[in-house]
Amino acid sequence: MKKRALALILTALTAATVFASCNSDSGNSSNASDSSTGSETGTTETSTGEADLREDELVTLDVVCMSSGKNEPDITDVENAMNEILEEKLNCNVNLTFISYANYADQISLLLSSGEDADLLPVYLIPLSTCANAGQIAPLDDLIDQYGQGIKDQLGDYVDCGRIDGVLYGVTTARDLANSQGFAYKTDVAEAVGFDAENIKTLDDLETELKKVKEANPDMWPVAVSAGENIRNWGWDPLGDDTVNLGVLVDPTDPTVGNLYESDLYSNLATEMYQWMQEGLIQADAVNTTETATTLMTAGTAFGYFTNLKPGYAEENSSSLGYQIDVVEILPALACTNNVSRATWTISSGCENPEAAMKVLNELYTNPELSNLYMYGIEGVHYKVLEEGGASNGQDIITWADGLDASTSNYAKSGTWIMPNQFIGDVWEGSAADVWDQQRTFNDTAEKSVAFGFTYDSLSVTNEVTACTNVVSKYHKALLCGALDPATTLDQFNEELYAAGLQNIIDEKQSQLDAWLETQGE
């Protein structure tokens, strides 16, 4: 009898907690909607007051971004300097967080799922559509119309590449929006061994030159990989699947969606890499490395890495690495929607004050002073001006502050391309004074995939995408690292992909692409 009573009490308790948690959840969501409607009415008031964009109460926004993996001890100082500007103009504060490249995808998945601690962040390495379909990021159409005119002016038509099913979810960062593919390497080693970049037109040529490096430096890996990824793309249009490549245009001039992993292009590439691995040209245990290639290069144990290229790539990276690198281009520039949508700034749906977030984002895209702070830190502390107004956009040419370099600075610049708008900011010493203009021209003149501007919505094939992603994560990176023999694994890989429903994804993509192409023809 007592046992039963106890059981009853326990059940009641469990049920009560379940309901309690349900209640608190729905309570939260209703609160959230309350606050958003509240601030909407607030904004109509302010917008009648025209230029005054200041929030009624001080709003603090969590701004997350990627850095090269260093800790930034001076982050609070930079924050304070940025807040001075933002507080005066918008009555907003920012709280900066940096996440390293190797952890970025994992960490922002968790941040977005928890809905906390991230208001503004660039979605990178995760498809924008995945986040949009999961409701993790907020639709931006109304916000950008109201507060984002500056962003529109800066980006022009490229804004539309952040649309999923017609709804805008992210705005791309201002950077190289097309990519050529090639190889980056340490200049001093190359000179010492007679590495002849002029000779390199194909992978085979590169192989010949890399062998020279291996011969002269047996303890050095000619090719290093970053977090298990050797080659991200080799001239195909991934149609929205940046890293998984489920259904791609193998030939970007032909609108037929196909299976990349069955193509000759892929099998040749994997075979070549496998051979390189056998010859000791690729870092051993490449598959399970969590380091980035540049870490090994800094340590002197690696020579170079495959990368996508843009004008000024070597100069930009030489300055942040602290030693000279050079690049050799192997595949010409190609512009796909991915190049644009792969890194887009978004507002998380957990953000309690999306209007303020959009205002801050707009400011980051348009205010050079703010942008410089975010990218390079504080003038005189982290960097110094070499030539005032020396850049073609009217900004300064800058370099490390006295006595500092990439490894000793407490707010070291890393990839500024993932910051909202580097084009309005200073130019680092060593890059051409018109490097930003060069990149704009590069974007405008690159060959465009036939599907440029097309974004794909994976919602109807979620199950297939999940199953296929699991298969791809088993083989793809390992194949392109040369760790698996394509002769024995490629067939099995494709078999498993089709069993996981790849054909449905390809069909779905094809029909969406055809529909889109028709609207383009009109």
Partner 1 sequence: MKKSPSPSRAHLMSRIRHNIPLYLMFLPGAIYLLINNYIPMSGLIIAFKQVNWNKGIIASPWVGFSNFEYLFTTSDAWVITRNTLGYNIVFIALGTIIAITVAILLNEIRSMALKKTYQTVILLPYLISMVVVSYLVYALLSSENGFVNLSILEPLGLNTVSWYTEPKYWPFILTVTYIWKSFGYNCILYYATLVGIDRGYYEAAVIDGANRWQQVWNITLPELIPTIITLTLMSIGKIFYSDFGLFYQVPMDSGPLYDVTNTIDTYVYRGLIRLNNVGMSSAAGFYQSILGFILVLLANFAVRKISAENALF
What CA–CA distance (Å, rounded) separates 172 from 153?
13
**Helix ranges restricted to H, 49-148:** 75-90, 101-114, 128-133, 141-147
DSSP annotation of 418: G
Q: Does the protein bind partner 1 through residue 199 (CB under 8 A)?
A: no
H-state helical runs in 286-327: 293-299, 313-321
Closest of 7, 8, 121 to residue 67, by C-alpha: 121
Nearer to partner 1, 38 or 394 (CB): 38
> Per the structure block, which two tokens stand in for 466?
């999940």
Among 115, 235, 390, 430, binds partner 1 (CB under 8 A): 115
Binders in 2-31 for partner 1, by CB under 8 A: 2, 13-14, 17-18, 21-22, 25-26, 28-29
Closer residue to partner 1 (CB): 290 or 445: 290
Number of residues forming the site for partner 1 (CB under 8 A): 56
Is 214 one of the binding residues for partner 1 (CB under 8 A)?
A: no
Under the binding rule (CB under 8 A), the answer on residue 113 touching partner 1 is yes
Task: Map the footprint of partner 1 across residues 239-298, applying CB under 8 A.
Answer: 284-285, 287-288, 290
Residues 83-102 as b/e (b if ≥16 CB within 10 A, e otherwise) read: beebbebbbbbbebbbbbbb
* C-alpha dist (Å) from residue 210 to 178, 216, 447, 468: 27, 10, 29, 34
Q: Shortest approach of partner 1 to residue 60 CB, angstroms? A: 21
- Rounded Cα distance between 309 and 320, Å, is 16
Least distance (Å) between residue 505 CB and partner 1: 12
For partner 1, the binding residues in 480-519 under the rule CB under 8 A are: 483-484, 496, 499-501
CA proximity to 179, closest of 138, 223, 233, 229: 233
Binding segment for partner 1 (CB under 8 A), chosen from 37-45, 394-402, 449-457, 475-483, is 475-483
Residue 334 backbone dihedrals phi, psi, to 5 degrees = -135, 140
Q: Which residue of 109, 263, 275, 410 would you call a contact of partner 1, by CB under 8 A?
A: 109
Query: Which residue(s) pair with 226 in the sheet?
Result: 229
CA-based radius of gyration for the chain: 25
Exactly one of 126, 140, 168, 270 binds partner 1 (CB under 8 A); which one? Answer: 126
Residue 359 host element (H or E)? helix 354-366
**Least spacing, CB of residue 285 vs partner 1, in Å:** 5
Work out how close the CB of 217 gets to partner 1 at its nearest, in angstroms, rounded to a whole number: 14
What distance in Å separates the CA atoms of residue 96 and residue 82, rounded to the nearest whole number? 10
432 binds partner 1 (CB under 8 A): no
Contact, 440 vs 178, CB < 8 A? Answer: no
Cα 392 to Cα 397, 425, 437, distances in angstroms? 10, 10, 8
Which stretches within 115-202 are classed as H helix? Answer: 128-133, 141-147, 149-155, 187-193
The least distance separating partner 1 from the CB of residue 22, rounded to whole angstroms, comes to 6
Choices 88-96, 170-178, 262-270, 462-470; region in contact with partner 1 by CB under 8 A: 462-470
Look at the block and give the residue holding tokens 């009109």: 522
Name the phi and psi angles at 401, rounded to 5: -65, 160
Site string for partner 1, 322-361 (x = CB under 8 A): ---------------------------xx-----------
Length of the chain equals 522
Q: Which of 359, 448, 476, 509 binds partner 1 (CB under 8 A)?
A: 476
Shorter beta-carbon distance to partner 1: residue 23 or 80: 23
Measured from the CB atom, is 441 or 466 closer to partner 1?
A: 466
Residues 127-146, one symbol each (x = binds partner 1 by CB under 8 A, - = not), give ---xx-xxxx-x--------
Binding mask 68-107 for partner 1 (x = CB under 8 A): -------------------------------------xx-
Residues that bind partner 1 (CB under 8 A): 1-2, 13-14, 17-18, 21-22, 25-26, 28-29, 105-106, 109-110, 112-113, 115, 126, 130-131, 133-136, 138, 228, 284-285, 287-288, 290, 349-350, 462-467, 469-471, 473-478, 483-484, 496, 499-501
